[in-house]
Amino acid sequence: MTPNLDLTSHKVLVFDVYGTLIDWESGIYNSLKSLFPKDTPREEVLEKYAAVELDLQMKDPSLAYSKILDLAWMRLSGQADMSPGRGKTAAVTEGGEEIGASSPAGAQQDSDMASSTPPASDAERFGASVPTWQPFEDTVQALHRLKEHFALVVLSNVDNRSFDGTHELLKSQTREARKSKYPTETPASPFSLILTAQQFNAYKPDPRALDTALQQVSSAPRSLLPHPNPPWAVEAREVLVVANSLQHDIEPANLHNLNSVWISRHEKNIIGAKADVKERGLWTWRFETLGDLADAVDQEVQGTRDAI
């Protein structure tokens, strides 16, 4: 732990979701393992998927994550990975105006419009599978414990509709809303703000993702998104990035000079991990689970109360 620095000196926790809160690797592996020989190690399946996913995201950031999954399935199964009629979505200027807008057939828009149609292929079923991926056992309780002390912000590489399904899994009816210091999306939600790749047409580790989050929680008058800043504002030094992925979240936090928490998940996760990063100490704190982070915060809070 960094000397003379407390977890509770922060006001906002910016969360990665898939890999940190949701066991997405199990969801991905269970869906993809049938495409590989039976003796293919889980790690190999996940590494191959991760390489394809990153390539697709970098080549076309306007693709909704559900379409990324769809195309990844096709590529890994040996099918063509071109999507007929694929188009670009509009970028949004700081003033909320659209630039570079294309036809309504844009990929992000297609994701929402086509979601009411049942998936017709294995690739489409994989693309629609995000809401079925389950939280880690410690996730829901830990989130709502942390919500008592921080504003929790989602910064995720998925599309809006995919996250909607995940959001339902992360809500809780048992934690009293009055215990939250900050307003939330709904009384049962742990989150004060939800930002997805679909909203800013960029996939982490693109710096625009974290830039957008910082602008949204700050008092700066400009915004990359067409909705106002939350009714609270903080300084960058009060923002703490909490994530499992070193590549997608911890390294960008370091580049922004933000403190971070690496939820290492016992170092079992493959996607977004880089072996050489462990030697460089890019994170400020490290915990194996989100529950461990919540315990550390509670201990700090109790220590402060005892000192009074």
User: How much is the average pLDDT of 73-101?
Assistant: 51
pTM above 0.75, yes or no: yes
Same structural domain, 121 and 220: no
pLDDT of residue 271: 74
Same domain, 16 and 154: yes
Q: In this model, does residue 81 exceed pLDDT 60?
A: no
Which residue in this structure is represented by tokens 């609270």? Answer: 232
Do both 181 and 226 map to the same domain?
yes
d(CA 118, CA 114): 9
As a whole number, mean pLDDT of residues 171-176 equals 78
Indicate if 187 and 283 belong to the same structural domain: yes
Q: Are residues 158 and 127 in the same domain?
A: no
* Domain stops at, among 109, 131, 153: 131
Question: Which pLDDT does position 180 carry in this prediction?
Answer: 76
Last residue of a domain, one of 99, 131, 163: 131
Same domain, yes or no: 226 and 271: yes
**Residue 182 and residue 40 in one domain:** no
Answer yes or no: do 141 and 237 share one domain.
yes
- The answer on 199 and 264 residing in a single domain is yes
More confident residue, 21 or 101: 21
Checking if the pLDDT of 35 tops 90, the result is: yes
- Residue 176: per-residue pLDDT: 59
Q: What share of the chain is helix, strand, coil (3-state, %, to 5)?
A: 45, 10, 45
* CA proximity to 101, closest of 119, 115, 111, 88: 88
Residues 55, 264, 292, 214, CA torsion sign: negative
Of 131, 164, 183, which marks where a domain is finished? 131
Q: What is the pLDDT of residues 182-210, one digit of tens each?
A: 888 998 999 999 999 999 889 999 999 99
User: What integer pLDDT is reported at residue 192 of this predicted model?
Assistant: 93
Q: Domain limits at 238?
A: 7-23+132-307
Q: According to the model, what pLDDT value does residue 101 have?
A: 32
- The pair of three-digit structure tokens given for residue 3, joined into one six-digit string: 């000397």
Q: What CATH number is attached to the domain comprising 257?
A: 3.40.50.1000
Given this model, what pLDDT does residue 201 score?
Answer: 86
pLDDT at res. 148: 93
Predicted local distance difference test score (pLDDT) of residue 9: 95
For residues 31 and 164, membership in a common domain is answered with no
> Could you please report the per-residue DSSP string of 187-239?
TT---SEEEEHHHHT--TTSHHHHHHHHHHHSS-S--SSSSPPPS----GGGE
Q: Is the pLDDT of residue 17 over 60?
A: yes
| pLDDT at residue 277 tops 90 | no
In a domain, 1, yes or no: no
* Residue 300 confidence class, pLDDT cut points 50, 70, 90: very high
| 94-150 per-position pLDDT tens digit | 333 332 333 333 345 444 544 456 556 999 999 999 999 999 999 999 999 999 999
- Structural domain tally of the chain? 2
Q: Which pLDDT belongs to residue 306?
A: 75
Q: Is residue 189 part of a domain?
A: yes
Whether the per-residue pLDDT at 153 is higher than 90: the answer is: yes
Cα 59 to chain centroid, rounded? 20
**Judgement on whether residues 68 and 78 belong to the same structural domain of the protein:** yes
If residue 15 lies in a helix (H) or strand (E), which one and from where to where? strand 12-15
Query: Same domain for 184 and 269?
Result: yes
Confidence at residue 94, expressed as pLDDT on a 0 to 100 scale: 32
Statement: residue 278 has pLDDT above 60: no
pLDDT cut 70: percent of the chain above it: 75
Mean pLDDT of the residues in the chain: 83
Q: For residue 2, is it within any domain? A: no
